[in-house]
């Protein structure tokens, strides 16, 4: 089963299971603090719209994208004030929008590490100069593989998910190489995971 099929299958269960997550709030509030009311934010890998709803509540205009059609159905149902589109990360350059902010939480952890730099570059190309880019990834733990396929049975059936794990410096370097200046970084522990949250601003230099 590929990752898209997995998320289409677990969409409703996953959405309900993550309603009470709060590890992301501090970093997201910081991201919001850099933006203005009515700024256009792209929620990449928006899932069922939990974070989109929070961004809208705090004054942002939000477009959410996800490769899972089932997740987008949930987002449209739960967050009627947002705009939600079925779109893969690899196709982000086809969006018609130039963005004030990009919110990319728990997305890079599902792509091979070798593709992370290019994914960040493509995203940065859709960001206005002076705009802000938020990324959250799972931190690599000592002695643990950088990539793995996890076999899970959280919702009463078996499914697989691919994960990549990153260091803070890896993500910071990728962002800097895409014309972004780091303005905030933090590490948060939640359950079995350590999360890295980074915010960067697009500079005015031409790459």
pLDDT for 204 beyond 80: no
Residue 151 lies in a domain: yes
List, for residues 156-181, the tens digit of each pLDDT value. Answer: 888 888 999 999 999 999 999 999 99
CA angle, 161 then 158 then 145, to 5°: 35
Q: What is the CATH number of the domain that holds 155?
A: 3.40.50.150
- For 121-171, give the DSSP string: HHHHHTEEEEEEEEEEEEBPPTTS-SEEEEEE-TTSS-EEEEEE-B-HHHH
Q: Are strands 61-66 and 147-152 parallel, antiparallel or unpaired?
A: unpaired
Average pLDDT over residues 133-155: 89
State the residue range of the domain holding 28: 3-202
> Among residues 48, 44, 35, 37, which one has the least CA distance to residue 63?
44
Residue 107 lies in a domain: yes
Residue 68 lies in a domain: yes
Residue 20 lies in a domain: yes
List, for residues 56-87, the tens digit of each pLDDT value. Answer: 999 999 999 999 999 999 999 999 999 999 99
Residue 133 lies in a domain: yes
pLDDT category at 191 given cuts 50, 70, 90 is confident
Residue 125 lies in a domain: yes
pLDDT at 207: 47
pLDDT at 34: 98
Residue 170: alpha-carbon gap to chain centroid: 16
Residue 207 lies in a domain: no
Tell me the C-alpha distance between 167 and 164, whole Å. Answer: 10
Counting the structural domains of the chain, the total is 1
């Amino acid at each position: 089963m590929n990752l898209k099929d997995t998320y289409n299958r677990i969409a409703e269960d996953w959405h309900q299971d993550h309603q009470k997550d709060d590890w992301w709030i501090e970093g997201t509030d910081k991201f919001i603090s850099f933006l203005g009311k009515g700024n256009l934010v792209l929620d990449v890998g928006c899932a069922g719209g939990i974070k989109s709803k929070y961004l809208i509540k705090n004054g942002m205009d939000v477009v959410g994208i996800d490769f899972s059609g089932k997740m987008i159905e949930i987002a449209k149902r739960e967050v009627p004030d947002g705009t939600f589109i079925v779109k893969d990360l690899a196709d982000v350059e086809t969006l018609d929008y130039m963005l004030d902010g990009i919110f990319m939480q728990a997305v890079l952890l599902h792509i091979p590490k070798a593709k992370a730099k290019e994914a960040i570059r493509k995203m940065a190309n859709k960001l206005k100069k002076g705009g802000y880019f938020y990324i959250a990834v799972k931190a690599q733990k000592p002695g643990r593989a950088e990539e793995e396929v996890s076999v899970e049975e959280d919702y009463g059936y078996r499914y697989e998910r691919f994960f990549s794990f990153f260091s803070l410096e890896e993500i910071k370097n990728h962002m800097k190489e895409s014309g972004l200046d780091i303005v905030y970084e933090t590490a948060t522990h939640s359950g079995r995971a350590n999360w890295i949250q980074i915010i960067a601003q697009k500079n005015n230099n031409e790459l």
